[in-house]
Structure 1
Amino acid sequence: MSKIYQYDYIIIGAGIIGLTLAKELMSKYPQSTIAILEKEEDVAKHASGLNSGVLHAGFYYTSDSLKARFCVQGNQLMKSFCKENNIPVNQCGKVVVAANAEELQGLYELEKRGKKNGVDVELIELDRLKEIDQNAKTYQKALYSPTTASVDPKLVCSKLKNILIEQGVQINFSTKWKRIKNNIIYTNKGQYACKFLINAAGLYADKIAKQFGFAKNRIIIPFRGNYLVYGSKKHSIKTHIYPVPNLLNPFLGVHYTLTVNNKLKLGPTSTPAFWRENYKGLSRFNLQEFLQIIYYESKLFLFNSFNFRRLAISEIKKYNRKSFVRLAKHLSHNCDPTSFDTWSKPGIRAQLLNTKTLKLEMDFIVEGDSNSLHILNAVSPAFTCSFAFAKYLVSEKLQKTID
């Protein structure tokens, strides 16, 4: 009979959510035994390590959402963690700019949401915008967010990994979930059991949750995000420059992003992917996933849910670099479009779809019982929110189920 590895807590997934959850559990229950099971060979190999690294301020989200609840605190906690561990932070701030009078109304809505959420945000005039970033271009006013910043997400996750290992957390890499049966977790590296399981498996969180009876009428639809990187020429952009987004969907539009070392990127795309890890070509192709996702994407296209048809067509156009760069032309006065010459490695957004309503879930979704907790829709700004979100999950969701 195979040995069964026993732990108090087992976390599936070594992305930013899994790592911050392990840190919070160790802080609250230092005598507990914790294991993280990760199918890749290191932490943050997917969205957690391939996101833009932007620390959002929290003004996009309605005040009744979990995203709004944790973004402001998460921004502060992430910056504190970076300061404590000598991880660089680019405190560049952000401006959201309008293209016309209609989008100006969007700025007023974003300011209203920001104030309600306790965000340091202000509407500024053209002369103030010029002081912040003379290249930013807007219609009459812009929204300024001084607390928006950038970090290196891989560096953050790597530091968390080292801290957790020092604290005694067992991180088992190249360990793939297979199934759970009679409370025994079967993997390619042996069998595990625990008092409580936390599912933070990102792109596969819904598939694991369904084995526990959760994620009913929900499926993850992957969207591939890619950035164009500004070449070797020196740029003069001083801050993140974002357009006014369509607040009915969870994507923020093509924008200028400054990395932690001040490199300039343009993006992202929001391309519907055809299988969960559809990064490039036929890499990691999965026929079952392909057929399932194509089925739902076809339904979205047919019924045009959340203007999916227009989204899909516009994303196809972004494969043309010149066409993609033109989308951001209205954001700045002086930024050489020909210098955006290199595609970055894409990331994939694990976006949850409600299969009954055919609508994308806009907020974090968490389901669970006395045996398990499942984080089903930890999309942007999940990286920013991670430390605050982990505190909430451990102190409220997990504590209640244990009690």
Structure 2
Amino acid sequence: MNNTNSYDYLIIGAGIIGLAIAKTLVEKYPKKKIFIIEKENQVACHSSGRNSGVLHAGFYYTSNSLKAKFTRDGNIEMTQFCLENNLKINRCEKVVIANNEDELKTLEELYHRGIANGVDVELISEDELTIKFPNVKTFKRALYSKNTSTVDPVEISLFLHKQLENKGIEFSFNERYITNLGNNTIRTTKHQKIHAKKIINCAGLYADKIAKDFGFSQDYTIIPFKGLYLKYTKTDKPINTNIYPVPNLKNPFLGVHYTITVDGTIKIGPTAIPVFWREGYKGLKNFNLSEFFEISMYELKLFATNAFNFRTLAYEEMKKYYKSYFISLALKMTKKIDKNAFNEWSKPGIRAQLLNTKTLELLQDFVVESDNNSVHVLNAVSPAFTSSFPFARWVVENHLE
């Protein structure tokens, strides 16, 4: 096809962010022509469909961050969306537990952040924790979040896809972005040329690459981290809530924790293992030599400078490939659970984590760059699924109008 197809909005990527931005646009501008291209054969094939499914409450983030407001509001909106559309949701709640006095200080910091963010959180005693969740153990106190839930991210994404198609939005799957031709026109693998008044880059793992074609992401690159979960396969239910350790607030990872999925399955994880190409899910599948050299170069820099304590992080994460060590991290948070029942790996995910190449810092908040012609969502990591609806509105209001 040699003709140029023209649209008002072209969205690259059909993960939850691309779908949520399309939802916002079609609600606001129902007569505009919107086209979404996706390199896979369905929506939510990468991070959006491989995350934990947790609807976070919003107490991890400082009150001046985008994540703080979007997570709090997104939790409410996504919960309502699931209830209104008969989509599965498990109101399983959550506790964050401490192991020592130092972690109690971080626990209190999380509590104060939650209160500042308008989130319903409580600091409860060890005795109160035992009454609520008998099999969970902590040191003196725990943080309790009653508004944390789990959902099925794939179910929600598929529902959104159908809903958007019914509203006239066009989708093209198995269509990959190739290059920017200028004049707000791109070349893809299927349509020779696509022109749009606004191009919106929601390409996740490849968002930085596409952004560079438009003159953006000059100081950023994606560093991939692999997340693995282990499922509990016995039929008994030794725990009935999500259990998290106190995190290291200097990096964006929350540590190995228990998640109760939407269907009641217990799983532990995730890891945050540095990998050397963007779709390094398993073995050498999807190996990309140029990505390997580029990402390895940055990871060697991080290792050499020990930026954000990368050496320790990498060492600790690589140890989690040993199943016994991985399981031992979870066992610290419960009183009694069969360690031999954690024996089924779930589908791995890759976290598309943005790195500032000048400062060698991992970006912890959302990052979006734009001009009058294009918008590039460069950092939309956890809790992006929870935050997707209010974040999408913010992108439309601040970068598309």
Q: TM-score normalized by structure 2?
A: 0.98
1:360 aligns with 2:362: yes
Aligned equivalents of 1:308 and 1:182: distance in 2? 39
Which residue number in structure 2 is paired with residue 258 of structure 1? 260
Which residue number in structure 2 is paired with residue 55 of structure 1? 55
Deviations 1:85-122 (A, max 9, x none): 10011001000000011101111000000000000001
Aligned equivalents of 2:306 and 2:315: distance in 1? 12
Aligned equivalents of 1:207 and 1:287: distance in 2? 15
Aligned equivalents of 2:338 and 2:374: distance in 1? 51
Which residue number in structure 2 is paired with residue 102 of structure 1? 102
User: Which AA in structure 1 matches 2:311?
Assistant: R
- Cα distance, 1:65 vs. partner? 0.6
The answer to whether the 8 Å contact 1:132/1:238 transfers is no
Which residue number in structure 2 is paired with residue 167 of structure 1? 167
Which residue number in structure 2 is paired with residue 270 of structure 1? 272
Which residue number in structure 2 is paired with residue 188 of structure 1? 189
User: Which AA in structure 2 matches 1:318?
Assistant: K
Structure 1 runs (4+) deviating above 4 angstroms are none
The answer to whether the 8 Å contact 1:235/1:335 transfers is no
User: Which AA in structure 2 matches 1:287?
Assistant: L
Task: Map 1:2-401 to 2 at 5 A.
Answer: 2-183=2-183, 184-190=185-191, 191-399=193-401
SS in structure 1 of the partner of residue 21 of structure 2: helix
Range that drifts further, 110-119 or 177-186 = 177-186
User: Which AA in structure 2 matches 1:197?
Assistant: I
SS in structure 2 of the partner of residue 248 of structure 1: coil
Aligned equivalents of 2:379 and 2:324: distance in 1? 33
The answer to whether the 8 Å contact 1:39/1:173 transfers is yes
Aligned residues: 399
User: Which AA in structure 1 matches 2:39?
Assistant: K
Range that drifts further, 219-228 or 180-189 = 180-189
SS in structure 2 of the partner of residue 274 of structure 1: coil
Aligned equivalents of 1:22 and 1:265: distance in 2? 32
Aligned equivalents of 1:397 and 1:63: distance in 2? 22
Aligned equivalents of 1:301 and 1:314: distance in 2? 13
% of aligned pairs identical?
Answer: 56
SS in structure 2 of the partner of residue 374 of structure 1: strand
Aligned equivalents of 2:58 and 2:138: distance in 1? 21
- Cα distance, 1:337 vs. partner? 1.2
The answer to whether the 8 Å contact 1:5/1:192 transfers is yes
SS in structure 2 of the partner of residue 250 of structure 1: coil
Aligned equivalents of 2:290 and 2:132: distance in 1? 50
User: Which AA in structure 1 matches 2:239?
Assistant: I
Aligned equivalents of 1:364 and 1:173: distance in 2? 26
Unpaired runs of 5+ in structure 1? none
Aligned equivalents of 2:208 and 2:108: distance in 1? 36
User: Which AA in structure 1 matches 2:187?
Assistant: Y
User: Which AA in structure 2 matches 1:30?
Assistant: P
Deviations 1:206-232 (A, max 9, x none): 000011111011100000001000013
The answer to whether the 8 Å contact 2:62/2:68 transfers is yes
User: Which AA in structure 1 matches 2:14?
Assistant: A
- Cα distance, 1:71 vs. partner? 0.5
The answer to whether the 8 Å contact 1:278/1:284 transfers is yes
SS in structure 2 of the partner of residue 262 of structure 1: coil
Aligned equivalents of 1:348 and 1:234: distance in 2? 30
- Cα distance, 1:176 vs. partner? 0.4
User: Which AA in structure 2 matches 1:185?
Assistant: I
Aligned equivalents of 2:104 and 2:28: distance in 1? 46
Aligned equivalents of 2:76 and 2:399: distance in 1? 22
Range that drifts further, 131-140 or 45-54 = 131-140
Unpaired runs of 5+ in structure 2? none
- Cα distance, 1:392 vs. partner? 1.0
User: Which AA in structure 2 matches 1:373?
Assistant: V
The answer to whether the 8 Å contact 2:371/2:399 transfers is no
Aligned equivalents of 2:365 and 2:39: distance in 1? 26
User: Which AA in structure 2 matches 1:330?
Assistant: K
